[in-house]
């Protein structure tokens, strides 16, 4: 532990160059990959390989590392979004579809309540009016909501598609291969853009934020769920201990891949803390940027609006 | 009080603007590309309105909170075109939120005081439905906005009436009629939303909203008494406001379950309550004067007795 701690401290005391690298701005060829220093191209490749190798065991590892709490975090994210039927969601780096499925469930239940209310109202209508409302396809179960899952990694998308088939999600879902720094979508298309535990792996965070701004409709919302900085010193030490001692071991035992989980834990430490990420989101042009700490800062949800 | 609040608001706005300007000067190229999409559109609409009027009116038409007289008119690398003109017309986020809430009010009869109504309102302004995420999901802001708008309308109405009286075009109403008319006018504003109003009342009673809703209620009652000509500086200031608050709240509750045509039962109830309050105040003053008379009588008796004692003692 002491060895990792020293490296951590050494990196944090480095001057502006490292800071810019941390913020995901290209400071020349130097970037971080966990605690290593690599070039931009190398970083992209390494991260692609990491997720390629963990794709099949991704969900199992999530459950075991966070003791299942990641489900609660993702639920909180969708509750905070509070989508109404008819919303178009873009879930970036959403490989295995966790957020997408939760979104569909939420919208479906909201839609059901809406339809129940409408039916109560309709009991006073004539047959002709009821027939006409059916014509207008108002009784669609999702109310026109759609989610596009975009991921840079083919393996993750494959796992996601299999999961969707297995769980029975068919309508309102699309899978697109794309890079968060260069999204294959038109401007002003989506109502909500989410990126859950993905922005850490993006090489140029500022570009990703600019792309998010571009594809959102005016009034659209940006939501980012990500591991963040724990300020409580006691909790921070326990968290470090757990991260560096337990998680890579779990990775080796369950997924047979020590190095990917070492990268995971290091990349969390390298990611900018809450206020810095908030400033970056504001720089991309978002308004009313705010963040909410979950579990004392282990995870934070950042939210911004394109106004 | 109002001037100080206005001054503070302007100072705060200037600080916010200067912060935005400083940030722009630090990252000029990025800001130019990502300059706000929606907020500027509002300024474009405002620019279209005073077509033939002078630039002076152009400065007056945007509402308060917008006075960038000390905005440097020099070259702004961060704003596109038209020199520094654009920078003065950005509306603030609060103003946009106001517009969304105002637009959302027309969907309240259908959807209730919920985030859905706010989402529909945002849609009519050309924004995405996700903009409703700026507000709380239980619709509190929408209700508070509505209440504050009603109070403002009431103030304007009372001010107009007062002006008419001052100009001599109308008679000054007796106090009970004035209070009755003011409360009736204010309650009539609820009529379009009467079906969903009980829901609103329950939301206003949530602990989170009690400070704001209480604030709005007391300021409205204060306004009514001010225009009624109340200039008391003693304890009756409190009793008057308490009495009127009681009248207003009870009448509102009666209105919720009133099904008579044109809410006649409610107005009759209001009339009776105001009459009661008047009698009570008359009785109170009568009691006070009676009390004073009794006390004076007792004092006189005491003085007489003490004089009798001293004269007897002297003798």
Ordered domains of chain A (ranges, CATH): 68-100+145-228+271-306 (3.40.50.150)
A216, A282, A307 ranked by CB distance to B96: nearest:
A307
Confidence of residue B71 (pLDDT cuts 50, 70, 90): very low
Domain edges within chain B:
93-137, 156-300
Whether residue B227 contacts residue B159, with contact meaning beta carbons closer than 8 Å, is answered with: yes
Please name the residue that has the structure tokens 């809430």: B101
Kindly report the backbone phi and psi dihedral angles of residue B91, in degrees, each rounded to the nearest multiple of 5, phi listed first: -85, 160
A219, A284, A303 ranked by CB distance to B38: nearest:
A219
Whether residue A165 contacts residue A138, with contact meaning beta carbons closer than 8 Å, is answered with: no
The answer to whether B101 faces chain A, any CB pair under 8 Å, is no
pLDDT value of position A43: 87
Residue A92's DSSP bridge partners are A150, A195
pLDDT at B62 over 50: no
Sign of CA dihedral A57, A75, B132, B212: negative
What are the chain B neighbours of A282 within 8 Å (beta carbons)?
A: 23
Q: Would you state the structure tokens that stand for residue A211, as one six-digit string?
A: 């792309």
pLDDT at B200 over 80: yes
Please name the residue that has the structure tokens 């109340």: B230
The 3-state DSSP class for residue A282 equals helix
pLDDT at B21 over 50: no
CA distance A106 to A53: 31
Report CB contact under 8 Å: B134, A210. Answer: no
What are the chain A neighbours of B125 within 8 Å (beta carbons)?
A: 219
How many residues does the structure list for chain B?
315
CA distance B315 to B306: 14
Confidence of residue B7 (pLDDT cuts 50, 70, 90): low
The proportion of chain B whose per-residue pLDDT surpasses 70, expressed as a percent, equals: 72
Kindly report the backbone phi and psi dihedral angles of residue A152, in degrees, each rounded to the nearest multiple of 5, phi listed first: -85, -15
- What does B60-122 look like in DSSP terms, one character per residue? HSSPSS---TTS--S--TTS-SSTTHHHHTPPPHHHHHHHHHHHHGGGHHHH-SSHHHHHHHH
pLDDT value of position A12: 47
What are the chain B neighbours of A192 within 8 Å (beta carbons)?
A: 128, 130
Write out chain A's pLDDT in tens, 307 residues: 454 454 545 444 444 444 444 454 444 567 888 888 888 888 888 888 888 888 888 888 888 888 899 999 999 999 999 998 889 999 999 888 999 999 999 999 998 888 888 777 767 667 777 677 666 655 577 778 999 999 999 999 999 999 999 999 988 899 999 999 999 999 999 999 999 999 988 989 999 999 999 999 999 999 999 999 898 999 999 999 998 898 888 888 888 888 888 888 888 888 999 999 999 999 999 999 999 999 899 999 999 999 8
Give ipTM to 2 decimals: 0.79
């Amino acid at each position: 532990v002491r060895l990792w701690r020293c490296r951590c401290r050494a990196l944090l005391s480095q001057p502006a160059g490292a800071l810019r690298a941390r913020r995901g701005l290209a400071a020349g060829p130097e970037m971080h990959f966990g605690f290593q220093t690599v070039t931009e191209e190398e970083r992209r490749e390494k991260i692609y390989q990491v997720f390629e190798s963990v794709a099949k065991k991704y969900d199992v590892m999530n459950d075991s590392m966070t003791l299942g709490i990641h489900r609660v975090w993702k639920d909180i994210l969708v509750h905070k979004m509070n989508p109404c039927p008819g919303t178009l969601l873009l879930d970036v780096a959403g490989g295995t579809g966790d957020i997408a499925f939760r979104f569909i469930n939420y919208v479906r239940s909201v839609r059901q309540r809406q339809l129940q209310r409408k039916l109560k109202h309709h009991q006073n209508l004539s047959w002709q009016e009821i027939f006409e409302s059916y014509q207008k396809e108002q009784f669609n179960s999702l109310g026109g909501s759609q989610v596009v899952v975009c991921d840079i990694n083919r393996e993750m998308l494959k796992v996601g598609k299999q999961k969707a088939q297995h769980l029975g999600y068919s309508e309102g879902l699309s899978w697109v291969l794309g890079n968060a720094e260069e999204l294959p979508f038109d401007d002003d298309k989506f109502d909500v853009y989410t990126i859950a535990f993905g922005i850490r792996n993006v090489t140029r965070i500022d570009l990703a934020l600019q792309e998010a701004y571009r594809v959102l409709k005016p009034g659209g919302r940006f939501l980012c769920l990500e591991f963040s900085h724990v300020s409580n010193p006691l909790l921070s030490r326990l968290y470090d201990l757990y991260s560096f001692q337990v998680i890579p071991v779990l990775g080796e035992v369950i997924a047979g891949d020590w190095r990917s989980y070492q990268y995971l834990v290091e990349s969390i430490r390298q990611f900018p803390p809450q206020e810095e990420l908030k400033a970056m989101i504001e720089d991309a042009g978002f308004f009313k940027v705010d963040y909410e700490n979950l579990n004392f800062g282990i995870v934070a949800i950042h939210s911004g609006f394109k106004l | 009080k109002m001037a100080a609040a206005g001054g503070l608001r302007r100072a705060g706005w200037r600080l916010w603007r200067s912060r935005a300007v400083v940030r722009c000067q630090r990252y000029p190229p990025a800001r130019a590309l990502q300059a706000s999409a929606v907020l500027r559109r509002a300024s474009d609409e405002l620019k279209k309105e005073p077509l033939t009027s002078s630039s002076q009116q152009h400065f007056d038409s945007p509402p308060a909170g917008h006075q960038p007289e000390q905005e440097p008119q020099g070259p702004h690398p961060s704003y596109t075109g038209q020199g520094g003109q654009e920078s003065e017309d950005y509306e603030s986020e609060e103003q946009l939120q106001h517009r969304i809430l105002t637009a959302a009010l027309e969907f309240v009869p259908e959807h209730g005081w919920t985030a859905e109504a706010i989402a529909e309102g945002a849609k009519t302004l050309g924004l995405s439905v996700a903009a409703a995420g700026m507000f709380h999901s239980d619709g509190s802001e929408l209700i508070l906005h509505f209440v504050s708008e009603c109070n403002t309308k009431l103030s304007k109405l009372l001010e107009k009436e007062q002006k008419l009286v001052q100009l001599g075009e109308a008679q000054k109403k007796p106090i009970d009629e004035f209070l009755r008319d003011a409360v009736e006018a204010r309650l009539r504003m609820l009529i379009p939303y009467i079906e969903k109003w009980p829901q609103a009342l329950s939301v206003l009673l949530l602990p989170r909203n009690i400070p704001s809703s209480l604030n709005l209620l007391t300021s409205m009652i204060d306004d009514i008494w001010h225009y009624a000509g109340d200039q008391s500086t003693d304890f009756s200031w409190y009793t008057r406001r308490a009495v009127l608050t009681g009248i207003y709240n009870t009448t509102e509750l009666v209105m919720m379950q009133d099904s008579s045509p044109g809410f006649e039962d409610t107005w009759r109830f209001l009339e009776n309550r105001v009459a009661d309050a008047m009698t009570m105040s008359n009785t109170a003053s009568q009691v006070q004067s009676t009390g004073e008379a009794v006390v004076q009588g007792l004092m006189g008796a005491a003085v007489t007795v003490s004089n009798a004692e001293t004269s007897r003692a002297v003798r």
